Chain A
Amino acid sequence: MTDSKYFTTNKKGEIFELKAELNNEKKEKRKEAVKKVIAAMTVGKDVRYTSRLDFECYLGSFHPSIFYFFSQDCEDPNPLIRALAVRTMGCIRVDKITEYLCEPLRKCLKDEDPYVRKTAAVCVAKLHDINAQMVEDQGFLDSLRDLIADSNPMVVANAVAALSEISESHPNSNLLDLNPQNINKLLTALNECTEWGQIFILDCLSNYNPKDDREAQSICERVTPRLSHANSAVVLSAVKVLMKFLELLPKDSDYYNTLLKKLSPPLVTLLSGEPEVQYVALRNINLIVQKRPEILKQEIKVFFVKYNDPIYVKLEKLDIMIRLASQANIAQVLAELKEYATEVDVDFVRKAVRAIGRCAIKVEQSAERCVSTLLDLIQTKVNYVVQEAIVVIRDIFRKYPNKYESIIATLCENLDSLDEPDARGAMIWIVGEYAERIDNADELLESFLEGFHDESTQVSWLKRTDVQVLVNSFFSFPHQDSDNPDLRDRGYIYWRLLSTDPVTAKEVVLSEKPLISEETDLIEPTLLDELICHIGSLASVYHKPPSAFVEGSHGIHRKHLPVQHSSIDTGESPVSGGPAAAMDQPHVIPSQGDLLGDLLNLDLGPPVNVPQVSSMQMGAVDLLGGGLDSLVGQNFIPSSVPSTFAPSPTPAPPAVSSGLNDLFELSTGMAIATGGFVAPKAVWLPAVKAKGLEISGTFSRRQGHMYMDMSFTNKALQHMNDFAVQFNKNSFGVIPTSPLPIHTPLMPNQSIEVSLPVNTIGPVMKMDPLNNLQVQDSFKCGLPQGSVLGPKSFILYLNDIFAVSNILKFIMFADDTNVFFSGNNMDEIIKDLVNVKGLHIIYSSLILPYLSCSEIWGNASKTNIDKLVKLEKNNL
């Protein structure tokens, strides 16, 4: 007799039989029947209707006493039975039963058998899912927290898992109180618990922010042994913890480098699994490589594609190969890529050819090699290879203009074989760009023109930009009978330009093209940092933040990489403030190295002579009192390169040591009223690092006051507004005495000069002075008002504003939203609204929350509230 018979019975009276058997007197028979029902349910047969009734009857016969039995089971001498009872009770997902559960559960949480305790810990999570309030009221959360200190590692692991889950639904509560003592307990449990428990604990550790690098290092040291675990999930969780804490370690320490070395072998080992595991591993490695290419730069060989890899693994490997390509290994990489380009799979071959192009763009020294490799490939005359190669060569031309035009002749030979829009477009671009060097350029273009009607918009678009050298009669042809309005309009524009003013036309069309970026499809840094925090999770496979695909994303904390600890930004909260600041991640923290480089390269010269230094010291005593110690340090090493760096998200003004000495000399108010040395403005924030906002500035002194002179230049395409300045606590106590006097939006390419009065009465941070200055671009999220918001996204943002209230009426225009409220007479209105203040209440209580949750900022100063009152009813 085997159990398989349950799957084979399919007789007519089956359900009836089941019913009978379930009601059988004999325990054995009943057991059999239950098995049968389970089997039937698994197969998906519809036994629900009848059998559920029976089933409930079956269970129902216990019903009055079921909880009695459960609580009795919880007292059973056999721990297995106690645990089973708790587990089963938790699985009955009925609200009613929860109250019966409390007492037994409380006992089980304190049971002497670890097996029972661990089951009880999970049961708390189950209960929380059914009735969160009750769990809190009954104090189960505290019991769970106590379990973290349990002697049995399994219990600890389950308690951690349960707490992590519960705390996800309470984003603000500090349930999992991660303090050094708890961390220590977790680390101790880590060594002893099962592999699965290790995963829970490691995931929990990754949410902890160590206080300083020493603590981070000691945690890393204890996590590192997990890297050689056989379970890849443990390895990946450990990698996550280490990647996070690496942020905190000083980059030049020995430990940092050893850790980097230790990370690579386990990552490589992950690639030896099944293709599915490999894929997940590769997606994760892709992230890690973008964040810290140095970890795997020696291991590029393991990413070479195997002939029998599935295509999705191949493509991921290819991507990682390119990211790891550097001057040292480019020869190897190119040889591999060339090999791939002769494979059978068309998609893969195309990607491989494209990869060659990306190598050329990334590693400049290899460009020549890449070009010759591409030429070799073109010689094969395989249609799709040639086409792809031409597209790639166009990109190379854009990156290195006027360097490889010798190969154009070869390209032109292959004109006829081009039949894809991309490739044709690329070829036309090349011909247009180098028209002067191609004798028969117009002929070539002529030949393209014949097929014009069949070609996609893309090609024609490109054609427009490039046919500049040809006569405008050229245009009369396409624009007359083209259906695409965009195309036709472009045609007209060029045509008119050409016919009226050929010189301008030439300027317009031949204007400089932006260079193409080095790294394509990089993940945006903030997102990357967030994804690094989610290594090993689904987010890392999708390369999307969890909020993008997990239900109820509000509850989920956005995780951030820890910022290297700095005492400087602990004092104040950002002035730009409000909820926006929280969302507004410091997108670009200019790296100190660069900024310092900029500042120092200016070479301000030796503006200070020796006697001034001493006078300054005295002045400083007067002025700065408590700041003396830091200043003294400053004075003794006035021109040394500062040795401590710490990123801070907002400006800390002292600029260059030599300039500073001068500044302070002046600020002590000693005799010199005007003049003195004013350092030339240095670029504090290059435009590329701040989305186009360039800030340069210096410190100066006029009429006995200190000023920070800055010029803001908008090099982006959009307006900028809402400027604000904030000074971190710094060693000189410098603070602004007035807000940043920029009130008008900054137009593209406009620049504005600002003089910000500062003084030194602010809080003084006792520390070695930082002589570098950091500037943050302080946009709030979203778009500045007045800039172009796509109509669709505007509608998306505002569309459901109606839902805010049903007594308000909305009339929405493209650029203005009116909110109406009306009543029959003023009394009614007044009753509701009292006065204009009431309107403000509506505004602030209803609309603002709406706006803020959809991340729009209302401009309060532009919000007008008008009363429209019919005169005859006006009884005000």
Chain B
Amino acid sequence: MISQLFILSSKGDHLIYKDYRGEAGSDVIDVFYEKVTALTGDQPPVVMSHKDLHFVHIRQGGLYWVATTTADSSPFSIIEFLNRLSGLVKDYCGSLSEKAIQMNFALIYELLDEVLDYGYVQMTSSDVLKNFIQSEAVSSKPFSLFDLSNVGLFGAETQQNKVAPSSAATRPIQSSRDPGGKSEIFVDVIEKMSVVIGSNVSSVQHQVFLCLPEMRIGLNEEFSVGKSQLRGYGAAVRVDECSFHQSVQLDEFHSHRILRLCPSQGEHAVMQYRLSDELPSAPPFRLFPSVERDSAGRLLMYLKLRCDLPPKRSVSLLPEGAGLSQELSSPDQSAELQLQNRTVFWKIPRFCGGTQLSALFKLDVPGLSSASLLEVGPVGLSFELPKWTGTGLQIRFLRLSPVHPGPSQRWVRYVTHSDSYIIRI
């Protein structure tokens, strides 16, 4: 159970403080801030203890969300709760920031009263909570769809006409109570990709994904779960494991791959799925590196990067870093050397499918030996691929129940992120 709960700004200002069990004074806030700022990199920040008090915290929206506990309670449920709480606050206030919290503190206290009682989590569903919350949220600025319409997903520059505004989640949920406001549904299929490609071609892959809000969602019919369940031939979509949000009704899932849900307002992870080992498609990027020493004792890195996506798809934003030791003279391309990380960053703003880019880096390394060639690498890629999923998961349809009134807009978006895409040299 949770003893106290507080929210601090990144500078350590107290924004919200609530004591549920009267087990410790409010001076622990400062103790916490001292501790968390004094942490070194290799100390796990998750659980910190001070006398009999244990701090569990997360960082969301640049704020510290901290819970303290004295008993042997579960850090998992606390972390999960804090994440949920920050989600709730975001849903209610529209955004997560120091300012939003300050403006809505009364609302947040009301929320805190309702979600926790004597340190026990009561409910975190925005739907149920709506019945109990009286305060209205205060938005920092009037919401306008047009302001945001040209900002793409996750800050990416996207083709404006094809991608839905990513503004759905930044609206206070209560403001849509007013009649006449049209309801909108956004389903995001987000895949995170973790790949390690060894120098000897063996690849290890592992992915995790979630998708966001609502209604009756049809997935690919060939969708299967588990390793053994191969159904026939062809492009079946297979995942190792999936888990669902509580409100999802699975009665049609097994026969027709349909998720039925009565979502509450706000943002939810409807389904999370995971696939490891083999992907149905080849990894989207391949790198052909060569590292050698030239006659002048310089380190030559020749990198050839190929994008194996179908042509016509273009990828945006592709910075890349090669973990690398020592110094450099001057790079040949528009890349940047970061000495303190010993990395070279190579930024590629746009990369078309089926094409190939190459770069040659020359680095002056004092005392270069053959052994230090081994130290070069690995190469990490971070990218965002819109409209592409590694597993091939698709939303077949999105139907609203007939009782639901009014026309509403529906958006389905696919995106694949690189969680950790590592190519070893």
**A residues lining the B interface (CB < 8 Å):** 2-4, 6-7, 35, 38-39, 41-44, 80, 87, 90, 93, 118-119, 122-123, 125-126, 129, 154, 158, 161, 165, 168, 194-196, 199-200, 203, 228-233, 235-237, 265-266, 268-269, 272, 274, 276-277, 279-281, 301-302, 304, 306-312, 315, 335, 339, 342-344, 347, 379-382, 534, 536-539, 541-542, 546, 549-551, 556
Cβ-defined partner of B198 (8 Å) among A3, A41, A236, A335: A335
Greatest chain B CB density within 10 A among A158, A195, A268, A339 is at A195
A349 to chain B, nearest CB (A): 10
Cβ–Cβ contact B123 & A342, under 8 A: no
Residues of B within 8 A of A161 (CB): 1, 120
Known: A2-B138, A35-B106, A44-B29. A196 touches B77 (CB 8 A): yes
A262 to chain B, nearest CB (A): 10
**B residues lining the A interface (CB < 8 Å):** 1, 13-17, 21-22, 26, 29, 41-47, 49, 52, 54, 58, 69-77, 79-81, 99, 102-106, 109, 113, 117-118, 120-125, 131-132, 138, 192, 194, 196, 198, 204, 206, 208, 240-246, 269, 272, 274, 276-277, 323, 325, 342, 369, 371, 374-375, 377-378, 380, 420, 422, 424
Cβ–Cβ contact B245 & A549, under 8 A: no
Residues of B within 8 A of A232 (CB): 76, 80
Residue of A nearest to B375 (CB): A342
CA distance A229 to B243 in the complex (A): 6
Residue of A nearest to B76 (CB): A233
Residues of B within 8 A of A380 (CB): 371, 374-375
Residue of A nearest to B341 (CB): A344
CA distance A266 to B240 in the complex (A): 10
CA distance A279 to B380 in the complex (A): 22
Cβ–Cβ contact A268 & B241, under 8 A: yes
Cβ–Cβ contact A4 & B77, under 8 A: no
Known: A279-B46, A307-B378. A122 touches B118 (CB 8 A): yes
CA distance A90 to B117 in the complex (A): 10
8 pairs of residues in contact across A and B, judged by CB atoms under 8 Å? A232-B76, A265-B240, A281-B76, A301-B277, A304-B196, A312-B44, A536-B74, A550-B72
Cβ–Cβ contact B70 & A231, under 8 A: no
Cβ-defined partner of B103 (8 Å) among A3, A87, A302: A3
Cβ–Cβ contact B58 & A276, under 8 A: yes
Residues of B within 8 A of A6 (CB): 105
Cβ–Cβ contact B44 & A279, under 8 A: yes
Cβ–Cβ contact B241 & A306, under 8 A: no
Cβ-defined partner of B70 (8 Å) among A35, A311, A534, A550: A550
B73 to chain A, nearest CB (A): 6
Residues of B within 8 A of A538 (CB): 47, 54, 69, 72-75
Cβ–Cβ contact A230 & B246, under 8 A: yes
Cβ–Cβ contact A43 & B14, under 8 A: yes
B366 to chain A, nearest CB (A): 16
A340 to chain B, nearest CB (A): 11
Cβ–Cβ contact A265 & B76, under 8 A: no
Known: A196-B121, A276-B58, A347-B42. A233 touches B77 (CB 8 A): yes
A170 to chain B, nearest CB (A): 15
CA distance A281 to B118 in the complex (A): 26
CA distance A312 to B52 in the complex (A): 24
Known: A230-B246, A347-B42. A304 touches B204 (CB 8 A): yes
Cβ–Cβ contact A276 & B276, under 8 A: no
Known: A272-B274, A276-B79, A304-B204. A126 touches B73 (CB 8 A): no
CA distance A276 to B1 in the complex (A): 19
Residues of B within 8 A of A200 (CB): 120
Residues of B within 8 A of A126 (CB): 118
Cβ–Cβ contact B374 & A44, under 8 A: no
Residues of B within 8 A of A280 (CB): 46-47, 75-76, 79
CA distance A123 to B106 in the complex (A): 24
Cβ-defined partner of A269 (8 Å) among B14, B123, B274: B274
Residues of A within 8 A of B272 (CB): 230, 269, 272
Residues of B within 8 A of A2 (CB): 103, 138
Cβ–Cβ contact A90 & B138, under 8 A: no
Residues of A within 8 A of B79 (CB): 233, 276-277, 280
CA distance A237 to B118 in the complex (A): 21
Greatest chain A CB density within 10 A among B46, B196, B274, B325 is at B46
Cβ–Cβ contact A276 & B46, under 8 A: yes
B213 to chain A, nearest CB (A): 14
Residues of B within 8 A of A196 (CB): 77, 81, 120-124
Residue of A nearest to B115 (CB): A196
Greatest chain B CB density within 10 A among A4, A93, A536 is at A4
Residues of A within 8 A of B369 (CB): 381
Known: A230-B244, A230-B245, A265-B240. A344 touches B325 (CB 8 A): yes
B131 to chain A, nearest CB (A): 8
Residues of B within 8 A of A276 (CB): 44-46, 58, 79
CA distance A737 to B207 in the complex (A): 67
A194 to chain B, nearest CB (A): 6
Residues of A within 8 A of B132 (CB): 80
Residue of A nearest to B18 (CB): A42
Known: A42-B105, A122-B120. A93 touches B76 (CB 8 A): no
Residues of B within 8 A of A536 (CB): 74-77
Cβ–Cβ contact B243 & A266, under 8 A: yes
Cβ–Cβ contact B117 & A268, under 8 A: no
B320 to chain A, nearest CB (A): 12
CA distance A2 to B375 in the complex (A): 57
CA distance A715 to B386 in the complex (A): 68
Known: A6-B105, A44-B29. A537 touches B72 (CB 8 A): yes
Cβ–Cβ contact A534 & B72, under 8 A: yes
CA distance A103 to B308 in the complex (A): 73
A104 to chain B, nearest CB (A): 16
A863 to chain B, nearest CB (A): 38
CA distance A310 to B103 in the complex (A): 35
Residue of B nearest to A198 (CB): B246
Cβ–Cβ contact A93 & B58, under 8 A: no
CA distance A194 to B240 in the complex (A): 26
Q: Which 10 A-B pairs have the closest CB atoms?
A: A233-B77, A272-B208, A265-B241, A196-B121, A546-B72, A312-B44, A233-B76, A306-B420, A4-B103, A551-B52
CA distance A165 to B105 in the complex (A): 31
Cβ–Cβ contact B106 & A308, under 8 A: no
Apart from the given pairs A379-B371, A539-B72, 10 other A-B contacts in the complex at a CB distance below 8 Å? A125-B118, A269-B208, A276-B45, A301-B276, A311-B42, A347-B42, A382-B371, A536-B74, A538-B72, A551-B70
Residues of A within 8 A of B118 (CB): 90, 122-123, 125-126
Residues of A within 8 A of B277 (CB): 301
CA distance A320 to B318 in the complex (A): 33
Cβ-defined partner of A307 (8 Å) among B74, B99, B323, B374: B323
CA distance A549 to B49 in the complex (A): 9
CA distance A43 to B102 in the complex (A): 10
Cβ–Cβ contact B49 & A307, under 8 A: no
Residues of A within 8 A of B13 (CB): 43
CA distance A557 to B298 in the complex (A): 66
Cβ–Cβ contact B1 & A44, under 8 A: no
Residues of B within 8 A of A3 (CB): 102-106, 138
CA distance A304 to B344 in the complex (A): 24
B221 to chain A, nearest CB (A): 21
Greatest chain B CB density within 10 A among A3, A302, A539, A546 is at A3
B70 to chain A, nearest CB (A): 6
B371 to chain A, nearest CB (A): 4
CA distance A277 to B47 in the complex (A): 11
CA distance A80 to B133 in the complex (A): 11
Residues of B within 8 A of A194 (CB): 122-125, 246
CA distance A87 to B118 in the complex (A): 9
A820 to chain B, nearest CB (A): 38
Known: A4-B103, A342-B374. A230 touches B243 (CB 8 A): yes
A132 to chain B, nearest CB (A): 15
A300 to chain B, nearest CB (A): 10
A200 to chain B, nearest CB (A): 7
